[in-house]
Amino acid sequence: MIDIAALRADPASFEDAWNKRGLSVDVTALLALDEEVRHLKAESESLRNQVNVASREIGEVARSGGDVAAAKQRVREIGDRAKELARSCTEQEEVLTNQLLELPNPCLATVPAGADASANAVVATWGEPPRLDIVYKPHWDLATDLGILDLERGAKLSGSGFVVLRGDGPRLVRALLTFFLDHLTRQHGYTEVMVPHLVQPSVMRGTGQLPKFQAELYHCERDDLYLIPTAEVPVTNLHAGEILSEADLPRRYCAYTPCFRREAGAAGVGTRGMTRVHQFDKVEMVWLAHPDRTEQDLAALRGHAEEMLQALGLHYRVLDLCTGDTGFSAAHTYDLEVWSPGTGQWLEVSSCSTFTDFQARRAGIRYRPAGGGKPRLIHTLNGSGLAIPRCFISLLETYQQADGRVIIPEVLRPYMGGQESIGG
RNA sequence: GGACAGGUGGCAGAGUGGCUGAAUGCGCCGGUCUUGAAAACCGGAGAGGGGGCAACUCCUCCGUGGGUUCGAAUCCCACCCUGUCCGCCA
């Protein structure tokens, strides 16, 4: 959520930022509503003050045996009026807040302007596609032939978009997960957390999934709990409503969770195999960070994700997302895409973003400056580190051999009991 | 799921209708003392919002939401959460 006071102070820059996201916002109406809310608040507070003062007097008079019947009647009327005004103030404030909750985070000034994904900038490329003299099979054939992927039975159990892995398939997934978590905790001092996969609506609101993206979420109606679409949601909200000390920043967490996404409207294009599924595994990196270093922090976060792709030896590129393609809550995003030689596509395996204070304001995450003083909102950042299915795809396709085997990269072998290949 | 107990400031813990936004202790910050530290003593210190150039001032917040009252941390109702015991269970 944006800061209404900031909008008041500089409406033009917000309007401009939203325009760059392809959004036209009636800022004038927002500010008029804000004005009304504050007017109502001032009115009701001044009446409230009259009630407080008068009540004190009534108490004193009554104690010394005076007659307070008339005063009571008068104060009650003022009180009723104050209550009325306070009520309509709350109502209007709610209307305003609901509107604010639907507005995206303005992008940082450094983000390239552009309408859609075609304006994203490729800022780095690492490695090269594999060059064996073979026809590179797509993973849905390769993995099915190896007996480690069963799309049909996944669909039988849960419908399309759900997969069953078997044998070395799950084993490879566990190896990837453990490698990622070990790397982040041991090399970079992240704290690993294991969190609930079902969360309350307020938690979804904190990171920005609600109210706008309800349709993307699985919801358990009976308990009013949502299945998380990413570990970002519970992990970022770990410190919701808290005031951290400045010395504790940045707090860096990593977490493995399954992720559940309805992918409403995404059926059809590019959904073959396991490139886009309703349930997948992912390790997520989440930073609760100091607000003054957000771009440096984002660069570091992205670096951590890149290191792991490099360790796996996967050909990848980095996109600097343009304003039109940046997610709702984010202010600046880098996407990491791995090469899938079997399908001839780049697949997004990580999206590293800073959310500036947008999520922190929604979730109420602040820190107290070391020298004392008022609490300030922190900045939140996160990035996949990494999403399993697409790493799995790229890895299988990249390391496939003429004889149908798949070579396991060195870094994963310790996690697979020294196994050097799958199949054959 | 049933019974009982309880939810107050960073923590512990008073407070059961009126200068209580909240005693006291610990912790924290500043100062005095000390070569330095500790101890002791003095002082400071919650959050959000409105108004004012400012000194300052006003409103709200004692799990959440309603209600009673001139006035609620204190009384009433509902809900949530925690603890203990019982039941059930991986």
Would residue A91 show up in a list of annotated catalytic residues for this protein? no
* Ramachandran class of A309: left when φ > 0, alpha when ψ lies in -120 to 50, beta otherwise: alpha
pLDDT at A268: 61
Percent of residues, chain A, with pLDDT higher than 90: 74
**φ and ψ at A316, to 5 degrees?**
-145, 165
Would residue A276 show up in a list of annotated catalytic residues for this protein? yes
> Which nt is closest to the CA of A72, judged by C1'?
B70
Would residue A348 show up in a list of annotated catalytic residues for this protein? yes
Contact present, A423 and A405 (Cβ < 8 Å): yes
Segments of chain A assigned to CATH 1.10.287.40: 4-101
Segments of chain A assigned to CATH 3.30.930.10: 117-422
Distance A56 CA to B22 C1' (A): 18
**What residues contact A284, with CB distance under 8 A and at least 6 apart?**
A230, A231, A232, A235, A254, A255, A256, A257, A382, A383, A384, A385
Amino acid at A293: R
Would residue A8 show up in a list of annotated catalytic residues for this protein? no
Q: Kind and range of the H or E element at A302?
A: helix A294-312
Work out the average pLDDT over A233-239: 92
Residue nearest to nucleotide B29 (CA to C1'): A372
CATH of A117-422, one of 3.40.225.10, 3.30.930.10, 3.90.1010.10, 3.90.1150.10: 3.30.930.10
> Which nt is closest to the CA of A58, judged by C1'?
B70
pLDDT at A113: 95
pLDDT at A70: 87
Active-site position among A263, A348, A405, A421: A348
Work out the average pLDDT over A56-71: 85
Residues A4-101, CATH architecture:
Orthogonal Bundle (1.10)
- A243 CB inside 7 Å of strand B: yes
pLDDT digits (tens, 9 = 90+) for A373-396: 778 889 999 999 999 999 999 999
- A49 CB inside 7 Å of strand B: yes
Structure tokens at A301: 């976060």
Distance A48 CA to B57 C1' (A): 15
Would you mind telling me the total number of residues written for chain A in this entry? 424
> Which nt is closest to the CA of A42, judged by C1'?
B50
Q: Kind and range of the H or E element at A220?
A: strand A219-220
pLDDT digits (tens, 9 = 90+) for A342-365: 999 999 999 999 999 999 999 988
- A411 burial class (0-12, 13-18, 19+ CB within 10 angstroms)? middle
pLDDT at A190: 95
Would residue A64 show up in a list of annotated catalytic residues for this protein? no
Active-site position among A276, A302, A361, A366: A276
CA A43 – CA A54 distance, rounded (Å): 17
